[in-house]
Amino acid sequence: MPVALVTSPTYVQHDFPDHPENAERLRALEAALDSPALALRDYLIALTPRPATVDEVALAHHRPYITALREAMRQAPGYVDSAPTYVVPQSYDVALLAAGGAIRAVEAVVGGEAQTVVALVRPPGHHALPDAPMGFCLFNNIAIAARYAQRYLGIGRVLIVDFDVHHGNGTQAVFYEDPSVLFISTHQENLYPQTGRVSETGAGAGEGYTLNIPLPAYAGDRAFERALAEVIAPAAERFAPDLVLVSAGFDAHWLDPLANLQLTLAGYAKLTQGLQAIAQAHARGRMAWVLEGGYHLAALTGGVTTVLRTLLGEHGIADSLGPAPRPEPEVTGAIERARAAHGL
Ligand SMILES: [Zn+2]
């Protein structure tokens, strides 16, 4: 089944050169896609995003925040939170286009243009709260896309899997009381933003529909394999999603400078196969990936190209960055706590 890619040259206009979340991340990805050795673009359907409208952004954000962010462009460049999240004069428009990129991805998978779409957007989104920017994120791209799919594309239940090394606190906040979206996050425990404990399971009607799997430092491929097989897959089976969305951060790779998990490129390939199997079993294969973090350029480009090649059906891809340098800690306790909190 065809795989599509959402990209836009506009995504590099949001940029602070010395900040970890800078435009070089996307320039490196574009260069990797252009690499003649892989010729990836020959196999991928190219999709162009449109900017999200304010009404679409308001599916996941409070309108006063959207207005305040637009007004903040007058003081740009500068910081809009202490994480630090920066803006430049173009950032509001680029953020609308990033949300629009996630929307374009779900439109394409639900409309049958492609079975899987990967949206390489910036700025990232999963820390953005309904009423505030946070952690390099302005609008919560994946949350907006999930709500868009439900409101305009006839989708009922949405599974969001977030494997960025940081907890997707913004996405969790948007759907905390919503039983129509199962939000599952793997992340390094006790890391920014310090949320995502196993005990955070949702509230009200959404009780049980937030599933956090915090992992100890240096957890890697084996931990993710177990999280997938023992927690994510059975939770997905019980939920039976109509659409699978993936918050794809590549900062859980062992080379990433901002955190200490130890996924390898081979681990990302296995994770991709596992998520693809979940989408095929429950959602007719419909799956949209939205880029989040990832701050080591070789790990980011290696991760994204490994995901794309795996989605295209390639197996046994060589891991050009090699195995994790440290032994993995025992994660049975972490896996069992997540299972117990959700009756799995
Ligand atoms: Zn991250």
pLDDT in tens, 176-222: 999 999 999 999 999 999 999 999 999 999 999 999 999 999 999 99
Report DSSP state, residue 53: P
pLDDT score at 9: 97
Q: How far is the CA of 162 from the centre of ligand 1 (A)?
A: 10
The three-class DSSP label of residue 338 is helix
Centre of ligand 1 to C-alpha 85, Å, is: 13
Residue 330 DSSP class: P
Query: What is the pLDDT confidence band of residue 1, given thresholds at 50, 70 and 90?
Result: confident
- CA dihedral angle for residue 308, residue 119, residue 235, residue 182, rounded to 10 degrees: 180
Catalytic residues: 127
In this prediction the pTM is 0.98
Listed by start position, the domains of the chain span: 3-341
**10 Å Cβ neighbour count for 246?**
26
Query: For the purposes of burial, counting CB atoms within 10 Å of the CB of 340, is it exposed (0-12), middle (13-18) or buried (19 or more)?
Result: exposed
As a whole number of angstroms, the distance between CA 7 and CA 207 comes to: 36
Q: How far is the CA of 196 from the centre of ligand 1 (A)?
A: 13
Q: What secondary structure does DSSP assign to 258-326, as a single string?
A: T---BB-HHHHHHHHHHHHHHHHHHSTT-EEEEE----SHHHHHHHHHHHHHHHTT--S---TT-S-SS
Q: How confident is the model at residue 299 (pLDDT cuts 50, 70, 90)?
A: very high
State the pLDDT at residue 180.
98
Tokens matching residue 44:
């991928």
Give the tokens for residue 30: 């574009």
> Are residues 9 and 49 in contact, defined by beta-carbon separation less than 8 angstroms?
no
| Spacing, Cα 189 to ligand 1 middle (Å) | 12
Distance between Cα 168 and ligand 1 center (Å): 8
Taking the domain 3-341, which CATH number applies?
3.40.800.20
Which residue from 337, 336, 309 is spatially nearest to 35, judged by alpha carbons?
309
Report the distance separating Cα 13 and Cα 119, nearest Å: 17
In the chain the first and final C-alpha atoms are separated, in Å, by 32
Dig out the tokens for 336 from the structure: 């069992």
The maximal CA–CA distance of the chain, rounded, in angstroms, is 52
Confidence of residue 82 (pLDDT cuts 50, 70, 90): confident
